[in-house]
Structure 1
Amino acid sequence: MKRSPSASTLARARIDAHRQQSRVHAGALIISVFGDAVAPRGGRLWVGSLIRLLQPLGIDERLVRTAVSRLAKQAWLRIEPHGRRADYLLTEAGQRRFEEASRTIYAARPRAWDGRWRLLLLVRELDAKAREPLRRALAWQGFGQLGADCFVHPGADLDEALQALATEGLAEAPAQLLPLLAVDARHGLGRSDADLVRRAWNLDELAQAYAQFDAGYGPIARALQADGAAEPIAPEDAFLLRTLLIHDWRRLLLRDPELPDVLLPALWPGRAARELTRDLYRRLLEPSERHLDALLQLADGQALPAPHAASGQRFGGPSVAAQPASTV
């Protein structure tokens, strides 16, 4: 009987697949690393450590330095020199963004819906060319679209959504959009909630994205869960896989409006994807933290502090023993 690939082999294949991508979005990956690994240790890191962390993912020194400079201009990070070296720190605004995102990324379950729809109405005339970047940016925040001039979401913070548009280079967008709350879609918009969902979002496309996520990470999680898994994942590979997992999960959640269960299909794959992410993240946490302990430094040569206790409660706590294999 042919032996199934080990978790270590599957993890390395996933890491290698990322390295071979033709386009590398270094800035977005650095945001994931800071939010997941650096923020729990004080939110400050010597850029040399960041370069060493990301090099195995095919991101070289030039790409890292270019990306962190761009993130500093976008008010995510600030620079604090120490002689010939420098630390990069989360700004207060960057810290707030991470804290807000973390409540969704690491939640054990989706947030409960309060029954209100968040609307952004386009109140200025825009031609199709000017409208498209706005539509794309809001779609990446999970907003659906009703007609040409109305964007809808079940739970977004509208102030945060407008601020994110400005941060992404759409500085005029807040003045072009009117934020509103609709308490009851049947009265406020003239359609049932279920019909609104069908009109505003392509759930088939989102379900396909979740299926691709499972194809990339499900076999690794199941190999780790299998009895007699012979090869544990090495600490460096555990960190790299954890980074890619959270990066891809975060990108999925940006697209997912996290609709209430009553408005989703019975076997909605987003539920299983959250269980998969929770289980795999917990299993990778301890070896990846050992890698971070050994590698992370400040510009003055000191090691970073241990992660704060709250980070151990991500996805609802540390235990993984009782979690079944997840499939989408």
Structure 2
Amino acid sequence: MERHAAGDEVDAPRVQSGPNPQHLLTTVLGEYLDSADAELPSAAVVAALHEFGISPGSARAALSRLVRRGLVAVRREGRTPLYHVTASAIARHRSTMHRFLAFGAVPRTWDGEWLVVSYSLPESRQAQRHALRKVLGGLGFARLYDSVWINPDPDPDPVRAALDGLLAGVPGARWSVMHSRFEGATGPGGPAAAYDLASLASAYRAFVAEHAALLAAVRAGAVGPAHALVARATLMDAWRRFSVVDPDLPDELLPTPWPRAEARATFLEVHSALGPLAQERLVELMSPSWPQAAAWVTHYVAAEDPSAPPLGGRR
């Protein structure tokens, strides 16, 4: 089972597939603790990660690594170390949660212009070519031709900064950033064809199908706390990938019907419904070693206004 990396906090671990105790611990601490004043023993961390099949040794190692990375800090009380999530990590996680929960809520406005990047590199510069393609993809660009990339985003500053950082001083490198309009933008030879929208639509439909049984169980009130904590983390892991792979194209460029709205509705309904149950289960797991757990453990829910941050707070 793949685990959700809910935060890209200070020096957070890289995203990867498969069980990853660091990502899992980042998720649990980020989604269910909203105060840097909460001090918990390592035994509470071990108990929480055990719910996901993580061994005590791996849980403690993950905690130590998050301390080294600056997401968690140590406060000592006698001989017993107590840990707390840093204020900077909490703030960064709030921003990350807002991005995941708000993704796809509001249609993208567009004036019909594309941001176009064209570059030329000597054949010997394969390393720079590979790095540039990776950066362009991460910025939401798609490759229209071999060295021509496009994006409906109007802001050229991020890609200009990336090009300057990667190619400045490289002998023989040339590049241009421009705005352009295309005839037949949505046709088979138009720029929208550079995006694999068929595969993306299939992924959204698969998300809905894979979570249909969970959605039905939620609506029937058939999901208990013991299932909710793991199910909610798995759901978030599946949804947050869309914010990475979906270029969020304007409606004018999307085929109809477009399945993202149904997938997002499924995600929000299940994520919101499981929040109190997951919180209850986490308190149950942590309380034997951390009697104050009920006073500190919380959960995030989506704000009604997608432009607002997610709602948090101890309940």
Cα distance change of structure 1 residues 110 and 215 upon mapping to structure 2, 3 Å threshold: same
C-alpha deviation, 1:161, in angstroms: 9.2
Q: Which runs of 5+ in 2 are unaligned?
A: 4-16, 169-174, 307-315
- Asked if the contact 1:51/1:61 (under 8 Å) is kept, the reply is yes
Pairing 1:300-311 to 2, within 5 Å after superposition: 302-303=292-293, 304-305=295-296, 307=298, 311=300
Deviations 1:85-121 (A, max 9, x none): 24142452x4454333323311285344343756777
Per the alignment, in what secondary structure is the counterpart of residue 87 of structure 1? strand
Amino acid paired to 1:222: A
Given candidates 265, 271, 282, the residue that maps to 1:281 is: 271
Pairing 1:150-165 to 2, within 5 Å after superposition: 152-154=150-152
Deviations 1:51-93 (A, max 9, x none): 3222222222343344455555555x1422324424142452x
Amino acid paired to 2:283: D
Given candidates 103, 106, 109, the residue that maps to 2:98 is: 103
Amino acid paired to 1:30: L
Cα distance change of structure 1 residues 313 and 249 upon mapping to structure 2, 3 Å threshold: closer
Match of 1:144 in 2: 142
- Give 1 or 2 for the bigger CA radius of gyration: 2
- Asked if the contact 2:116/2:180 (under 8 Å) is kept, the reply is no
Cα distance change of structure 1 residues 291 and 108 upon mapping to structure 2, 3 Å threshold: same
Return the alpha-carbon distance in structure 1 between the equivalents of residues 155 and 279 of structure 2: 32
Indicate whether 1:217 and 2:211 are aligned: yes
Indicate whether 1:203 and 2:201 are aligned: no
Return the alpha-carbon distance in structure 1 between the equivalents of residues 134 and 27 of structure 2: 21
- Asked if the contact 1:122/1:176 (under 8 Å) is kept, the reply is no
Identity of aligned residues (%): 23
Higher relative contact order (CA 8 A, sep 6+): 1
Question: Could you say what the CA RMSD is over the residues aligned between the two structures, in angstroms?
Answer: 4.3
C-alpha deviation, 1:151, in angstroms: 5.1
C-alpha deviation, 1:221, in angstroms: 0.4
- Asked if the contact 2:39/2:83 (under 8 Å) is kept, the reply is yes
Pairing 1:1-328 to 2, within 5 Å after superposition: 23-38=18-33, 40-42=34-36, 46=40, 47-71=42-66, 77-82=71-76, 83-90=79-86, 92=88, 94-107=89-102, 109-115=104-110, 127-129=125-127, 131-132=129-130, 135-136=133-134, 139=137, 142-149=140-147, 152-154=150-152, 175-176=165-166, 185-186=180-181, 193-194=185-186, 195-199=190-194, 201-225=195-219, 229=220, 232-296=222-286, 302-303=292-293, 304-305=295-296, 307=298, 311-314=300-303
C-alpha deviation, 1:292, in angstroms: 2.9
- Asked if the contact 1:145/1:152 (under 8 Å) is kept, the reply is yes
Match of 1:11 in 2: none
Higher helix proportion (structure 1 or 2): 1
Say which is worse superposed, 212-221 or 44-53, in terms of deviation: 44-53
User: What TM-score do you get using the length of structure 1 for normalisation?
Assistant: 0.65
Deviations 1:149-189 (A, max 9, x none): 555544599888999xxxxxxxx98711799986x540xxx
Return the alpha-carbon distance in structure 2 between the equivalents of residues 284 and 206 of structure 1: 26
- Asked if the contact 1:242/1:281 (under 8 Å) is kept, the reply is yes
Q: Which runs of 5+ in 1 are unaligned?
A: 1-16, 164-171, 318-328
Equivalent pairs counted in the alignment come to: 276
Return the alpha-carbon distance in structure 2 between the equivalents of residues 123 and 300 of structure 1: 59
